[in-house]
A and B are shown apart, each in its own frame.
Chain A
Amino acid sequence: MLGVRVLGRSLLSYLVLQLACGALFFGGPSETVRAVGLVAVPVIAGAAVTVGALRHRLVRAPAWLALAAGSVLSAAG
């Protein structure tokens, strides 16, 4: 129960963070801030996938890591 609650909190924090980054991109005061918001979304997504796969022992972890790599790579592109 506690673990579920922790995971739920993690998910909620992640979504809030992503929402904030999205808001930065769409409503940022400067180009720099907007660019940071834009890059942050896929990077944070990749990090979240990595954390979720390793920390919570998801089934087919390598596949999840590939998805994480894809997200981060798209940010690097």
Chain B
Amino acid sequence: MSLAPLWIDGVDPSGVGGKAVFVLAYLVSAVGLVTLVGCRRRGDRVAVLDAGMLAVGLGLLVCVLVEPSVSAAGVSGEVRAALLTYLIIDVLLIAVAARVLFAGLRSPRIWLLAFWVVAQAVGDTVFAVQVLHGSFRFEGPLFVLWLAGYAAVGAAALLPGREVRQGSGRWHRAVGPVAVAAAVVPLPVLLLVHAAQGVAHHVLLIATGSVVITVLALVRGLVAGGSSSAAPRAAVRWSAARFTAGFLVLALLPLGGLAYVAVQQSEAAMRTEVRDRMEVTASVSAQYVGEQLNSLRTLVSSYADRPSLVAALQRPGGPDVGAVELHVRSLYAAHPDLSAAWVLDSKGDILAISPAATSVMSSNFAYRDYFRGALDGDGAYISEAYTRAAPPYERVIGVSAAVHDAKGRVVGVVAIGYRLGAFRTFSTRLADVQGCA
């Protein structure tokens, strides 16, 4: 005879047949307890409301922390349904027992029944967690709780008959609010923890439960204020006002905290995303600029090495301006983002420019960075950005190369002006594509 097929079937995660009987046993016990204590002091609505808040708070905690309804590996839907039923009944039983204790009714019998309820609830909660995590074993403190709970029920019935006493004093009145607060305070903490973790699937549940509890607290405040004599009524009103204010704070704090965390997280996520995209945009832009400038250097160098251009610049009696203009026009047409292309002699006087700009035809540009850079370096030179002297006076980068004759002497400088706006246009297009324009 093994343990599993017998009584344990009801708690065995793999058992099926016993669960229905087990659930039935719970229900019958619940009916018995409700019948036993439910008729006492029917008019004590404050205790009922406190018990309701306690039940909602505990129910939410169980749902969020144990998650009996969430599918777990190796746990069938039937088992989860049974676990959920156990826990729901446990919470209801605790509410019933709490309703009696909150009303100030005390007797050893009631304490024993309350112990049974709490032992069952704690045992079932631990059992649910163990089953869902696959760590349940047929031994240990869990069974101590269950068995002690059953023993307590029998002891309650066998106790010598004693009258139920009505408790009085400050601590009796404080038991309800303290117990409710103990069940409710973890909720905003859980809400904030879930919000910080970015877990959203319990937020609505907790928020709804908090609203329900707040409504119950408000109703409790109204009900508690309805005493008959003047002095106690004022004291009770003051107490009810503090109670209600406390619950309102409890309800508003998580909402405020949640809003703050949500805004912070949203901003942080947005900043991170924008920074990432900007980094990509900047990286791609830098690569694009580098490739563009290299291609322009190659282009200018190829024109500076043209023998026909060298010959035109070396012609006896002065440069062949017509031939030079042909080269300049060809160079200007080679790239769509050029502002202009031009050739200067070795002294910096402009010989030809395309498109034509008569205002600079007699000018000397020996002071320009691109001219001096071309004379100093071996290959093509890329200048700093500057504003063109000819219309439309746009910002350009000069790319220049010296033209050498057969003996290595400088006979002129070929230069182009690359529009800076072309880089900006590319970056803007890229940012548009990245979604961070």
Contact = CB atoms under 8 A, between A and B. Distances in A.
B158 interface: yes
A14 B158 contact: yes
B33 A48 contact: no
Interface in A30-77: 31-32, 34-35, 38-39, 41-42, 44-53, 56, 58, 60, 62-77
Given A69-B28, A71-B153, A31 B2 contact: yes
B8 to A, nearest CB: 7
Main secondary structure of the interface of A (DSSP, over half): helix
A26 B3 CA distance: 12
A71 B36 contact: no
Which residue, B31, B143, B157, has most C-beta atoms of chain A within 10 A?
A: B157
A49 B154 CA distance: 5
A4 to B, nearest CB: 5
B26 A51 contact: no
B7 interface: yes
B185 interface: no
Interface stretch (B17-25, B236-244, B397-405, B411-419): B17-25
A11 B28 contact: no
Given A69-B32, A74-B10, A8 B157 contact: no
A76 B20 CA distance: 11
Nearest to A19: B151
Interface of B: 1-3, 6-10, 18-22, 24-33, 35-36, 39, 139, 143-144, 147-148, 150-151, 153-161
Interface of A: 3-4, 7-8, 10-11, 14-15, 18, 21-22, 25-26, 31-32, 34-35, 38-39, 41-42, 44-53, 56, 58, 60, 62-77
